[in-house]
Chains A and B, each alone.
Chain A
Amino acid sequence: MQFKGTSNYSGKAMENAIARTGGYSNAFTSPDWTAYFQTLPSSALETALRFEADRMVNSLYDAVEVETERTVILSEREGNENDPQFLLSEKVQQAAFKQHPYRNEVLGSTEDLLRLTRDDLYQHYRNYYQPSNALLCLAGSFDEDAALKLIEKYFSPIAQTETIRSTPTPENEIAQAEKVELLGPDEVNYIQIAWRSPKASDPDFFAYTLIESILSGPSTLNMFGSGGIGNRTSRLYRELVENQFAASVYGSLSASIDPGIYTLYITCRDDHSPDEVIARFNQVIDSFLNQELSLEEQETALKQARANFAYSIDNITNQAFWVGYAQSFAGYDWFTNYVESLRQVTREDITRVARHYLDPARRITGVYRNRDGVSNG
């Protein structure tokens, strides 16, 4: 609804003004925050700031537009529901968090999307869209003093109002192992396994980052731009894919304000049942927890982190994204010191953190199976 117009500009006028500069703008929502971004020539910086300040207070939330947008978002959800991995991840998330809002899919459930009223949306908007609850990041080619003056010009007139917020109680642990299962028409079986991960500001998060790198390959730091590193030397790829138990495996560890989850995504081959794949997976984890980590694996993970960091700053939009993202959960120096923080991690740290978090008795195992048993499983 933030793209549907304000009392000063129609949504189309704002979209077109940005597009006319050659730039692009969009927004995305994480469990912890909502981000609006604009990438445009530096000469158009004022246009971007004017629009962002305006829609921080003047968005209309027109009732007719709400109804049109409702069907658009329902359509987005329907598109996601086409993918069995989405449906499974929603179930795994709900199992991994019993009361924390991280259990909810960001897009919302169909029921909620149908129930939300214009006033619900507007109340959310007025409460959270405040300068005191916002963070503005700029990256690229601009004069700092001139940019600060523009920011002051457009944002300082906005009245200060405190945001009323509920602070969710963090869920530091998954209390017990749980298995969730989903049956459906798709012919391929999928497995998702989730463990608790520490909050990103926890020093153990850096050890966890190296664990991820060693087990399933390093996650890219590129929200924008391209480029990642393969995972063919990761332990899980070698054991599951090279040994022909699975067609693919990859992991996902996200930096979050409260403890989150580290999830492994496995696509099964049709000649091994999910149970067989999970049994093999368990052997890999058991071996990881009980054998000494080699220096080579640690050094590889560190070099990969350094390379990932270099790739992440290749794209200017990504630079702004990471500075803001890191500020949301720790401080922007979390990102600028990223490589050094990883360098401080010892092999003992990795072993300690792995044994604490990767406990088979405290994980969620999700399985999607073809309901007619087309695949072996």
Chain B
Amino acid sequence: MANMSFSPTALPGSDTIFRKRFPNGSTFLAYPNSTSPAVFFRGYLPVGSLSDPAGKNGLANFNAGMLSTGTKQHEFRQLHRLLESCGASISISAGALATVFSGQCLKEDLPLILALLMQMLSEPTFPQAHFERLQQQLMTVFRIQSQDTTEMASQAFDRLYYRDHPYAHPELGYPQTVSTICREDLLEFHANYFGPEGLVIAFAGGMESEKTAALFEQIFSNWNAPSQQKQVDLPVWHPHKQAMREHVVIPEKSQSDLIIGTSAPVGMSQEYQLCALGNNILGQFGMMGRIGESVRERSGLAYYSASTLGAGLGPTTWKVVAGVNPNNLDKAIRKIKEELSRFITEPVTREELEDVKQQALGQLPISLESNSGIARLLLSLERFQLSMDYLRELPAVLEAVTAEDILTCARNYWHLDSLVIASAGSTP
């Protein structure tokens, strides 16, 4: 076993994480820290852009944005005066599979903030004036995005990679789809998909678990939505077998963004853990791993160049990203391909493997550095249906990984003849 400077039993586990499921289908998690004057929470409802109707891409995101514009009990200004006058915040946004929310407040304000969250999720009024305002704001966002090399490269990558799968569409939608959304679409979407079934919320910080669970029950247990539908099923997706390349021209940009990617395993699965260790070696460890060493440190081609491994319940991606001068785009692609080739032909060295195992172990206590981080962690345990003792069990899982395991994973996912490469920026 690699050296460990802490006992795994000191990590959150089934005996210290409070978890309760309520009859209306909602789930509550908490991990208290009595020294904190604040409470941090995160949660989700299982509906996202996957449920956007055809031609209405961006509806789930639009809906999430409207939830904080007024409720049956509080119009916009009242709602935000209540929130901001106590220094609290609640943010809501939509991903592909879930509408996610997060917030924070001083612990004495938690009853008020939870009540407001409940109203925002269950009783939004979608005021017409705010609908029009948000629609205009989204149009401005689209115009900003159209000049953003990072965003345009990302969208091009998703288009190529996901093709006819719903993930090919940006969660924000498109100007032409968002402009056709009307208030009635939002009312219908909310009525169809919003309810307590599948709601998960995780708390960390200065609250007490049982008292907060009772408070949550008092506020949320009356939320029943008999018409709540399950999100549409995620279509099956088959990885492509051929290389694809797209460059989006955005004139007069000093830097181009580059993404080279492939498929990745389901988040937090056993195979995912292997890939995560491999990904650290490939493009994270130290100054962005092997990729950083080659593209940034040795070649001086980019300020950032790293690899990222997505963690999702649906199909997701393993990517190498870089920001480079337009004239260096092809050179950066060559350098990255060289590293990928090495990654799938040679096992990682014993030293590299030991490095990333030690890192993964050391990160466990550091991940508890903040209460907001703990709330995020609790939510991941629930979202990926992991054991509440996942963190405590992880050291043994990591210990068992071999260099051959990582090579097998690398070969399973990276195929140099079928890479998807997207970039955006000035013409090289």
Q: How far is A185 from B143 in the complex, measured between Cα atoms in Å?
A: 12
B252 and A188 form a contact (CB under 8 A): no
A75 and B36 form a contact (CB under 8 A) = no
Decide yes or no whether A154 CB sits under 8 A from chain B.
no
Q: Which residue of A lies closest to B87 (CB)?
A: A307
**In the complex, what distance in Å separates the CA atom of A199 from the CA atom of B327?**
43
Contact between chains at A72 and B84 (CB < 8 Å): no
Q: Contact: B136 with A244, CB < 8 Å?
A: yes
Secondary structure dominating the interface of A = helix
* Structural contact, A79 and B255, CB atoms closer than 8 A: yes
Q: Mark B1-36, 1 if CB is under 8 A from A, else 0.
A: 000011000000000000000000000000000001
Given contacts A225-B372, A304-B84, A307-B106, contact A21 B362 (CB under 8 A): yes
Q: Is the CB of A314 within 8 A of B287?
A: no
Which residues of B, 229-265, contact A by the 8 Å Cβ criterion?
Answer: 251-255
Contact residues in A for B76 (Cβ distance below 8 Å): 232, 242
The verdict on B149 contacting chain A, using a C-beta distance below 8 Å, is yes
Interface string of A56-80 (1 = CB under 8 A from B): 0000000000011111111111110
B300 pairs with A69, CB closer than 8 A: yes
Provide the residues of chain A in CB contact with B425, threshold 8 Å.
82
Which of chain A's residues have a CB closer than 8 A to the CB of B365? 22, 41
Bound Cα distance A247, B145 (Å): 14
A227 in contact with B372 (CB, 8 Å): yes
In whole angstroms, what is the CA distance A68 to B295 when docked? 10
User: How far, in angstroms, from A218 to B83 measured CA to CA in the complex?
Assistant: 13
Given A22-B361, A232-B80, CB of A227 within 8 Å of CB of B104: yes
Q: Which residues of B contact A231 (CB under 8 A)?
A: 84
Alpha-carbon gap, A233 to B106, bound state (A): 19
Does A115 belong to the interface (CB within 8 Å)?
no
Say yes or no for B371: interface residue by CB 8 A criterion. yes
Docked CA distance A326–B293 (Å): 35
A242 to B133, CA, bound (A): 8
List A residues 308-360 near B (Cβ within 8 Å).
Answer: 308, 310-311, 314-317
Classify chain B: how many residues form its interface, as a range: 35 or more
Q: Please state if A20 and B371 are interface contacts (CB–CB under 8 Å).
A: no
List B residues 262-297 near A (Cβ within 8 Å). 285-287, 293, 296-297
- Whether, in the assembled complex, A226 has its beta carbon less than 8 Å from a beta carbon of chain B, the answer is yes
* Neighbouring A residues of B205 by C-beta, 8 Å: 314
Instruction: Tell me if A21 and B359 are in contact (CB < 8 A).
Output: yes
Select one of A226, A233, A244, A314 contacting B84, CB under 8 A. A233
Q: Are B136 and A269 in contact (CB under 8 A)?
A: yes
Give A133-190 interface residues, CB cut-off 8 Å to B: 184-188
- Residue A101 lies at the interface, judged by CB distance under 8 Å to chain B: no
Q: Does B54 contact A (CB under 8 A)?
A: no
Q: How far is the CB of B171 from chain A (nearest CB, A)?
A: 19
Shortest Cβ distance from A65 into B: residue: B297
* Residues of A contacting B361 in the complex (Cβ-Cβ under 8 angstroms): 22
On whether the beta carbons of B5 and A15 are closer than 8 Å, the reply is no
Does residue A39 face the partner (Cβ distance < 8 Å to B)? yes
Provide the residues of chain B in CB contact with A232, threshold 8 Å.
76, 80, 84
* A24 contacts across to B, CB distance below 8 A: 366
Partner of A75, one of B86, B302, B372: B302
In the assembled complex, B301 has its CB within 8 A of some CB on chain A: yes
Q: How far is the CA of A296 from the CA of B86 in the complex (A)?
A: 11
CB–CB A19/B84 < 8 A: no
Q: Is A52 an interface residue, CB under 8 A from the partner?
A: no
B130 to chain A, nearest CB (A): 9
| Complexed CA–CA distance, A184 and B297 (Å) | 33
The residue on A at minimum CB distance from B39 is A310
Residues of B within 8 A of A218 (CB): 87
| 8 Å CB interface, B94-113 against A | 104-106
A16 within 8 A of B: yes
Nearest-Cβ distance from residue A133 to partner chain B, whole angstroms: 26
Q: Are A22 and B366 in contact (CB-based, < 8 A)?
A: yes
A-B contact sample (20 more), CB < 8 A, given A72-B303, A187-B146: A15-B287, A16-B285, A19-B286, A19-B355, A22-B359, A22-B363, A22-B364, A40-B366, A78-B323, A185-B147, A185-B251, A227-B89, A229-B88, A233-B84, A242-B133, A269-B136, A307-B105, A310-B36, A311-B38, A311-B104
The 10 A-B residue pairs with the shortest CB-CB distance in the complex, in nearest-first order: A22-B362, A307-B87, A71-B300, A78-B254, A15-B286, A76-B303, A43-B5, A68-B300, A247-B140, A22-B363
Q: Can you give 17 A-B contacts (C-beta < 8 A)?
A: A12-B297, A15-B287, A16-B355, A18-B286, A20-B362, A22-B359, A22-B361, A40-B366, A70-B300, A73-B303, A75-B301, A185-B251, A230-B89, A244-B136, A300-B85, A304-B84, A310-B36
